[in-house]
Amino acid sequence: MGPRWDAMNDRQLLLAYVQARDVQAFGAFVVRHEGALLAFATAFLRDETTAQDVVQEAFLRAARHPHRLLALPAQHAGERNWLLKVVRDLSVDWLRKRASERRAVEGLAAVAPKAVPAPLTAAEGREELGRMRAAIGQLRPRYRELLLLKVQERKSYKEIAQITGLSVTNVGFLLHQAVKELAKGLSD
């Protein structure tokens, strides 16, 4: 990012992109948020390549529909929360699709066990990054998602509710359950 872009907030960058067709302004917006979105998506999906695809799709949606971002109330982190919601929704869709494909392969394997190889996960062969990360990785996707939003992204319960579409009360309950499950996983 150049000095000109550093002085602009997200809304100003998006306005420059929309009003002046300034692609560099949108590029500065991408650079500003890409690292955090990639970290979230990679931790959530446990697949760096897919995380990159998901984040790229989120930015494509922002580029195609910048007015959605500009229509957000002028609040701190509104654009980032919108991007996190898009990344989260795309990630959940990918996980659902992968689970559906896995069930289909398992169904075929039951009919012709030698004809269908066992599916491989993206995490296979990777070195373990630590006990805590492994324990978080073992959590069900919903718990993992909420913990990542709370701990890694430092989002409030209200912000997590906006991103996930859950109620604030439900976020609190599910985070409590996630922490209990994480503690149990760490003690095993």
pLDDT tens digits, 116-155: 444 434 343 334 346 777 778 888 999 989 988 888 888 8
Nearest C-alpha neighbor of 76 from the set 19, 9, 154, 152 = 9
Q: Are residues 116 and 133 in the same domain?
A: no
Q: Are residues 183 and 136 in the same domain?
A: yes
Query: For residue 114, how many other CB atoms are within 10 A of its CB?
Result: 6
- Final residue of a structural domain among 122, 143, 163: 122
Domains of the chain: total: 2
Q: Are residues 49 and 139 in the same domain?
A: no
- Final residue of a structural domain among 122, 140, 170: 122
Alpha carbon distance 16, 28 (integer Å): 11
Residue 118 DSSP symbol:
P
Q: Which domain holds residue 176?
A: 127-188
- Final residue of a structural domain among 78, 107, 122: 122
**pLDDT tens digits for 9-26?**
999 999 999 999 899 999
Q: pTM of the prediction?
A: 0.67
